[in-house]
Copies of this chain bind each other. A is one copy, B any other.
Amino acid sequence: MDTLSAEIIGLERSALDRWITGDPQGYLNLYAPEVTYFDPFQEKRVDGLETMKTLFAPMKDNKSPITEPRYEMISPKIQRHGDIALLTFNLINYGKLPNQPETMLARWNSTEFYGRIDGQWKIIHSHWSFIKPEIKQAPKQPGA
């Protein structure tokens, strides 16, 4: 792995390590002021760092029932173009619910668009989605 890939993946892992314990501050520190964001729980795109802070604020008070959280980051890939580094990966979350053995909690597609701003790598766009969600009425293909 080259130096840039190692640096970007390291930033992402540091934010994830905090996130899975219920702490969003690692990601909030990485977001650029102009950040745009998609995840499966929002009605539409979320725009801007201040809106992200409001979105993640409840996490700090909500204690998760999950213990021993961990994740696998699968096939992280960097596509670099000048001062932009696009990181994509799949992610699997594991953890223990009360009185249960470890289980797989979720599987994700992850897009993190990093840009070098004032000498620091910041997330300019983030998109999280489920791998093959089992939904009630699934369309046959994207955009159709």
* Interfacial residues, chain A to chain B (CB-CB below 8 A): 16, 19-20, 22, 34, 36, 38-45, 47, 59, 64, 66, 69, 71, 74-75, 77, 79, 81-84, 86, 88-91, 93, 95, 105-106, 108-111, 113, 115, 124-125, 127-136, 138-144
Q: Tell me which of B45, B84, B111 contacts A90 (CB under 8 A).
A: B45
A86 to chain B, nearest CB (A): 6
* Complex Cα gap A138–B83 (Å): 36
Q: State the number of copies, please.
A: 2
28 sample A-B contacts, Cβ–Cβ < 8 Å, listed by A number: A16-B143, A19-B142, A34-B79, A38-B109, A38-B129, A40-B138, A41-B142, A43-B131, A44-B74, A44-B75, A45-B90, A47-B77, A59-B141, A64-B144, A66-B144, A81-B83, A81-B115, A81-B124, A84-B84, A86-B113, A86-B125, A93-B143, A95-B144, A105-B144, A108-B143, A109-B127, A130-B135, A133-B133
